[in-house]
Structure 1
């Protein structure tokens, strides 16, 4: 029997690799002769660096960058030398969790630190970048990142704009002549499950701004500022496509990456699966064990367990999803190619205990499932 172990991280409890190890222990305790293939997974959000580095045998590189408010902060990215592949989580440099709720200022939050990570990756020899863009604190259209890469954004008097999305309302000129020339030969792919455009009622400012602390007036300011960015970009380069799916991801970082750096936006779980070779590992598999901290009906909207289930369907393998919490509406997954949903935590367990006992609980749950196979 061949079983592929392809979980995401269980947030605050275990990484994807630790989840693989816990599943493996459970399987081997019941089915010692089973062939177990571990493929740590992610969907472009938290855990993407760990999943790819662990799957491909890369290294973690930590550098000091600017956080969303310009303060120094250590940030880690992954590098796989034999593929010249760098894996960046934008949230490690420009994420919402880096700023305390009382300090959040979406009008001046910047993606400058993301650009610093990219420069470091290029210095290490990267020719390919995989950038996960979930969890941002920013709404600057990627201008901070582009500034770190050498671009210039100035007002009518030629003064460099200060950091943050609000300042883009005064944008008059864009100069990309100073952008690091190595980027012209760098293949950039964005891992994101956000398909929002940059502007409008479904765009970056209106939909995601309030989640980052923007009030109603802030949203209007940011929408007008990004509209100005689009107008000046179109004038400067003859094209600006704010309606492309993913342009509104991470406060418009998707727009900056696609419009200025020719990046390709790909659903996160599909991109990670392709990068770590999930489909090849699934060949000949009888069962696939996947999971993450919580599953519900929204899991079908680009989350790892459903992405793994879709990949497994191509090979005929049956899928079990494990989770700390299985919501009632998660039953919809059973009608979409999933054989079993397994909650690893007993109802009523205190959260801190559930997080602490997660690996052991996952091992026990995997063993229990294997006894029924």
Structure 2
């Protein structure tokens, strides 16, 4: 067991009589006791609504909530806390951009450009925005290994390209997309770049000012934080121009019978009682990750991906998807003659948790010419021994179905 695994209490259990090997962190990461205790402490000692009360508990809750916002700002190097909007997660954050930015600005003749490898949450909002505005939704061409050729991408971006939206890391292929270069390309034509950071922010250092992205969305639960909390980063000038996503308490300045005005950023986009405990937990998760160091997390994940590629590549009949280099900590694969759900079921019997299905990427599954895949994804609490267990489990899967089908 590696040195960080001890911080994650859920990993101490057995599943089906075997020590748990958790290889599903791309779906949701496990939580260290530091995060669990921060959430527990909030509810035990500081539970109150934020911004409204002048009593001690209200002040503590507000300090925790807004203090976490500053931690997030620092973590992604945003220029101001005004650029950090709390959301329910990546999906909500991307929908805010589609609804409040794209629908208000796009028109017939404009183009939205995304990749066919996008998660549904970074595809369907743009389908709907295109349908509502008359803009055309277009797709980059992927190389056979799922990477993006920048020259081909450059040829597709022009004066009609008003918005490009891509995942910095594919949740299926592990591909790391060149978002900084895409930002430069789209900005030449005064378009904007939206980045789905759900799989990148937890695993590598992300500097929004260096990338020069216009929007970035990510989720707390994939980076050792609680579920139900996420972030939309947006450049202040763009957020200032956008209308709110939800209306009600918390986000108003003045309300009359027929007219209302909104609070300044970031609260304009945070209607209703927020997920205060989630924000506090996300702040604690950032503290934890910064203690580890994002460079170390990145190097560890890449090492495990390379090790898994090598060891799984030695198993006959296993097909691995995505690039062979420059990828982050996940491996998507299939075993010849065995449905991914059956692979996952056999591995679960060995105490190994992986993901199986279309991974909310049905267009990408069709591009790969498969109905589904299996996926093993790693995080800082995994080590080479976990990969070895996975490989052993795949051998057992082959033996079992070889006997059944033979």
TM-score in same-fold range (> 0.5): no
Larger relative contact order (C-alpha < 8 A, sep ≥ 6)? 2
Q: TM-score with structure 2 length normalisation?
A: 0.27
Q: TM-score with structure 1 length normalisation?
A: 0.29
